[in-house]
Chain A
Amino acid sequence: MLDQTLEVENLHLWRGERHVLRGVRFTLQGGDCLEVTGANGSGKTSLLRTLCGLIYPEEGRVVWNGENVRRDLPAFHAALAYLGHEPPLKSDLSARENLRYWIGVRRRISAAELDAALLRVGAGSWCDRLVRTLSAGQRRRVALAGLALLIVPLWLLDEPSTNLDSEGQELVGTLLAEQLARGGMVIAAVHQGLPAAVRAARRLELAA
């Protein structure tokens, strides 16, 4: 098992005059999954983005494997994958091209790997069409393909199952389960709970 740890200490965040995060703290080990719940506007997205290092909290810190992530932010970023509300895709590129550029900027990737990932999410027949012609659910699947290709210890996911049918939701479950099985961590902000395959999750409820 991996001995990666993520410690979050006493995070306080203000957005304008709103005290969005009030002393959030938790510790995760490899293989842990954290489910972040809360009503709209309770700060789920802000929490994820603060954990990524995109937002600078007024108080508190994020510690990755014993080191404050602010010390070496690029190294921390190389160890995480973040998926926001919208899939990060250019509408004038195909799914395949999008993945090639998105993942390729981070690591070398072969055509075979791209093919395998696209097939896995069921994109075999439409992976070369421009993304602007795809439905929201299809775009979400492409984002999941990217996630599957980013084999990194920490996944930060903002509503990963949005726009997906039941088959798609199962796919999310499988991917998450695989990530946890190989010792990775998952922090997922969800509205309606995680897929069944990821049963043993800890919960963090954010009050609005």
Chain B
Amino acid sequence: MVPGFAATATTGAAASALEAARLALLRDLRLAFRKRGQLVQPLAFFVLVTMLFPLAVSPELSRLRELAPGVLWVAALLASQLALEFLFRDDAYDGTLEQYALSGQPLTGLMFAKTTAHWLLTGLPLALVAPLAGLSLGVPAAAIPGIIISVAVGSVALSLIGSIGAALTLGMKRSGALLALLTLPLSLPVLIFGARATQLAINGASLLAPLELLGALAVLGVTLAPLAAAAAVRISLE
């Protein structure tokens, strides 16, 4: 600390980057639980979208089972999109994002913490709800663990990629369509590997290959996305 200031009783040691990130994560989780209603919305949207297909295509389970991987993943992608807007918008609006940028802590770590919170609140619940939607589409019960794992890992990458788009479109009014235009092309690899993994799970085969690719995307995302998001946030504060 600065000499002359350390003497005062009210100064404590500086927080480490890890403690700061932990606090940022806890804060976002606590905030989300204060508005529990909002948490359910992406999940409800997901279920609703999957419901559209039996109604629009055919109630025959054999046909639905063929479509199931695609339907589940497209719905998961769109639902994840919906929740992205809330990632940074409130913080940018009330000045707390600015305080993060001025905290002296690495902004990348704080962005990672926020994205982790987003995944815990959206991706993980999606992974747990997806099997239910799958069952309604004629997916065999044996495929459930595979579905949960593939959606859980895939949604990590989706949250990370989405955080970049969310940070870039900060401060833009009605940015929903643009956010989707930015995020969806970048998310296509996740869609491809994830749908394949789910298909293999339904067939009863090993989904290790696409799962590893999903994992690789998640790891790549973890290393690069918070950096890009932090850069985008700083640009929005200029």
Contact = CB atoms under 8 A, between A and B. Distances in A.
- Count class of interface residues, chain A: 35 or more
Contacts of B238: 54-56
Given A93-B30, A102-B96, A149-B10, A75 B104 contact: yes
B94 A84 contact: no
Interface stretch (A18-26, A36-44, A108-116, A159-167): A108-116
A108 B237 contact: no
Contact of A182 (B8, B24, B94): B8
Contacts of B30: 93, 97
B10 A113 contact: yes
B2 A93 contact: no
A8 interface: no
A183 B104 CA distance: 21
Interface in A109-154: 109-110, 113, 116, 130, 149, 151-153
A106 B96 contact: no
B2 A77 contact: no
A101 B99 CA distance: 11
Contacts of A201: none
A93 B34 contact: yes
Nearest to B106: A74
A182 B1 CA distance: 14
Interface in A45-70: 52, 54-56
A11 to B, nearest CB: 15
A199 interface: no
Interface in A77-95: 77-80, 82, 84, 86-93
Nearest to A117: B10
B56 interface: no
Main secondary structure of the interface of A (DSSP, over half): loop
Given A86-B95, A92-B31, A101-B27, A152 B103 contact: no
B33 to A, nearest CB: 9
Given A74-B105, A74-B106, A153-B5, A92 B34 contact: yes
B105 A182 contact: no
B2 A102 contact: no
B57 interface: no
Given A2-B3, A55-B238, A152-B5, A88 B94 contact: yes
Interface stretch (B13-21, B145-153, B216-224): B13-21
Contact of B14 (A56, A78, A102): A78
Given A102-B96, A106-B20, A107-B11, 20 more contacts: A54-B98, A54-B101, A54-B102, A74-B105, A77-B102, A78-B104, A82-B98, A84-B98, A87-B95, A97-B30, A105-B99, A105-B100, A105-B103, A105-B110, A107-B15, A113-B12, A149-B10, A151-B10, A153-B5, A182-B5
21 contacts: A77-B102, A77-B104, A78-B14, A82-B98, A82-B102, A88-B99, A89-B94, A89-B95, A92-B34, A93-B34, A102-B99, A105-B105, A106-B105, A107-B13, A108-B14, A113-B10, A151-B5, A151-B8, A152-B2, A153-B5, A182-B5
